[in-house]
Amino acid sequence: MKIVLASASPRRKRLMERIAGKCSARAAKIDERIHPGEEFPSAAVRLALMKARAVAGRVKNAVVIGADTIAYRGRRTYRKTDDAKAAGRILRELSGKTHAVVTGVAVLFSGGKCVNYTVKASVRMKKLDSKTIDGYLKTGEWKGRAGCYDVSGLGRKLVARVKGEKETVVGLPIKRLRMLIS
Catalytic residues: 68
CA distance 46 to 131: 38
CB atoms within 10 A of CB 37: 6
* Residue 99 CB partners (closer than 8 Å, separation 6+): 71, 72, 73, 78, 122, 123, 125, 147
Look at the chain and count its residues. 182
Are 180 and 107 in contact by the 8 Å Cβ rule? The answer is yes
- Structural contact between residues 170 and 151, judged by C-beta atoms closer than 8 angstroms: yes
